[in-house]
């Protein structure tokens, strides 16, 4: 039986389609896929040749063969598109692999920086006191005479003013000589009960040596509540020193005079630079003044509007720079502000 021309054409289209699809699937590159595209779908390509024979067909046969031709074209085009996407994603993966850069790596040739030892110890102490319910306060380095002296029970003619050599500025202002004015600012800002610490830079017009700087750091602490006693003060001082040194250190407590506390104490630490044998840091005494403290003087509470009959408190003024010296075994305070990278790189 003679086969219809359209059937022959459809069979040929189907064969060509299968062949093209196989070649596309096996093509090793996009160039090879493109070559199949030209051969199969191009203007002079194999499928185009079939259209030439369409003239010999009846309208129905032409419709049938045309449908087969379009279906084959579409299938081949889709297969080409899939291969193109495949090649592109392989190329993209290879590019990402080749160009991958770890942006978190430090730039070659530079060393990562580190925090200054005083900053490190300050942050540790802040974390400790925050965990104990204290607030961290900040105060100005340029202070009023009132906050630095008067409100701390040191009136103008008081001899205690000579204990701290002051850098005076115009207009009765000064560079704060200690962090204690932040006690006053804390009491002005918050009502009792109150727990605060205030780390900061202080300034004194004094002779510089191995343990004295004109610019150094202190960390003030104050707690005001009902029935605060020396036992509370010592409890917090012990927690502070144990947390900083993580071992037993020898300290001594002796009476100390500060107009803003009564009773007042000096808490000295056995010199960790020389082990107590005597060195320039401890001025050959074996002890370093570190943590003066006491119970807040009633006049100080009263001057800030707090009734000393109702409330009491303790306060301390830690020598933060000296503490860093003891903790890291730094035998000269001047190194800390020298900006010498050979020194700073060790921390
Ligand atoms: C005061 O400054 C008081 N405001 C501390 C205070 C606060 C007492 C609250 C009671 C209640 P003093 O002048 O002693 O006290 O200084 C405190 C600490 O700062 C000293 O123990 C010492 O560790 C440190 N210090 C004092 N002068 C210098 C200096 N020139 N260089 C480095 N550290 C210093």
- Per-residue pLDDT of 24-57, as tens digits, reads 999 999 999 999 999 998 888 888 887 777 878 8
Give me the mean pLDDT over the 10-34 stretch: 92
Instruction: Tell me which of 258, 296, 318 to substitute to probe ligand 1's pocket, judged by most ligand atoms within 8 Å of the beta carbon.
Output: 258
Q: Taking the alpha carbons of 318, 319, 324, 327 in that order, is the dihedral positive or negative?
A: negative
User: Per-residue confidence at 108, pLDDT binned at 50, 70, 90?
Assistant: confident
DSSP 22: H
Per-residue pLDDT tens digits for 276-323: 999 999 999 999 999 999 999 999 999 999 999 999 999 999 999 999
Contact of 176 with 204, CB cutoff 8 Å: no
**Residues present in the chain in total:** 347
Percent of the chain's residues with pLDDT above 70: 98
pLDDT value at residue 122: 97
Any residues with CB less than 8 A from the CB of 249 and at least 6 apart, and which?
Answer: 241, 269, 270, 272
pLDDT band at 80 (very low <50, low <70, confident <90, very high): very high
β partners of residue 253 = 267
What is the spatial distance between Cα 191 and Cα 186, in angstroms, rounded to a whole number?
Answer: 8
Mean pLDDT across 158-180: 88
Q: For 275, left (φ over 0), alpha (ψ -120 to 50), or beta?
A: left
Question: How is residue 125 written in tokens?
Answer: 């102490």
- 56-60, 153-157, 266-270: which is most confident: 266-270
What's the pLDDT tens digit per position in 245-260? 988 888 899 999 999 9
Contact (Cβ atoms closer than 8 angstroms) between residue 181 and residue 147: yes
Cβ(269) – ligand 1 distance below 6 Å: no
Classify residue 162 by its DSSP letter: G
Tell which one of 139, 186, 198, 218 to mutate to probe ligand 1, the residue whose CB is within 8 A of the most ligand atoms: 218
What does pLDDT average to over the chain? 92
pLDDT band at 159 (very low <50, low <70, confident <90, very high): confident
C-alpha–C-alpha distance, residues 199 and 214, integer Å: 17
Average of pLDDT values for 232-252? 91
Q: How far is the CA of 317 from the centre of ligand 1 (A)?
A: 6
Asked if 292 and 266 count as a contact pair (C-beta separation under 8 A), the reply is yes
CA of 85 to the centre of ligand 1 (A): 73
Name the nearest CA neighbour of 289 among 341, 258, 253, 339: 253
Distance 196 CA to ligand 1 centre (A): 18
Going by C-beta distance under 8 Å and a sequence separation of 6 or more, which residues neighbour residue 211? 280, 281, 282, 283, 288, 322, 325, 333
Pocket test residue of 162, 178, 183, 335 for ligand 1, highest count of atoms within 8 A of CB: 178
Q: What is the pLDDT of residue 1?
A: 45
Q: Worst-scoring range by mean pLDDT, 68-72, 144-148, 263-267?
A: 68-72
Between 47 and 338, the higher pLDDT residue: 338
Query: Ligand 1 centroid vs 82 CA: distance in angstroms?
Result: 78
């Amino acid at each position: 039986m003679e086969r219809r021309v359209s059937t022959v054409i459809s069979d040929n289209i189907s064969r060509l389609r299968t062949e093209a699809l196989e070649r596309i699937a096996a093509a090793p590159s996009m160039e090879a896929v493109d070559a199949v595209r030209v051969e199969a779908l191009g203007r002079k390509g194999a499928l185009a040749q079939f259209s030439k024979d369409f003239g010999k067909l009846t309208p129905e046969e032409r419709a049938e063969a045309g449908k087969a031709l379009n279906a084959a074209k579409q299938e081949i085009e889709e297969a080409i598109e899939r291969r193109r996407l495949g090649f592109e994603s392989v190329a993209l993966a290879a590019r990402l692999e080749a160009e991958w850069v770890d942006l978190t790596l430090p730039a070659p040739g530079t060393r990562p920086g580190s925090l200054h030892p005083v900053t490190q110890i300050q942050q540790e102490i802040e974390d400790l006191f925050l965990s104990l319910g204290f607030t961290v306060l900040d105060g100005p380095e340029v202070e009023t005479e009132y906050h630095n002296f008067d409100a701390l029970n040191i009136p103008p003619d008081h001899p205690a003013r000579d204990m701290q050599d002051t850098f005076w500025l115009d207009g009765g202002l000064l560079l704060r000589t200690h962090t204690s004015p932040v006690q006053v600012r804390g009491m002005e800002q918050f009502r009792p009960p109150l727990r605060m610490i205030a780390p900061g830079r202080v300034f004194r017009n004094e002779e510089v040596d191995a343990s004295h700087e004109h610019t150094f750091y202190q960390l003030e602490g104050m707690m005001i509540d009902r029935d605060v006693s020396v036992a509370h003060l010592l409890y917090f001082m012990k927690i502070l020193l144990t947390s900083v040194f993580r071992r037993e250190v020898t300290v001594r407590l002796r009476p100390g005079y500060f107009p803003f506390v009564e009773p007042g104490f000096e808490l000295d630490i056995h010199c960790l630079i020389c082990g107590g044998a005597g060195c320039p840091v401890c001025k050959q005494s074996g002890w370093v003044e570190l943590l003066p403290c006491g119970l807040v003087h009633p006049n100080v509470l009263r001057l800030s509007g707090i009734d000393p009959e109702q409330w009491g408190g303790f306060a301390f003024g830690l020598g933060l720079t000296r503490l860093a010296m003891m903790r890291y075994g730094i035998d000269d305070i001047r190194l800390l502000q020298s900006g010498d990278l050979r020194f700073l790189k060790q921390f």
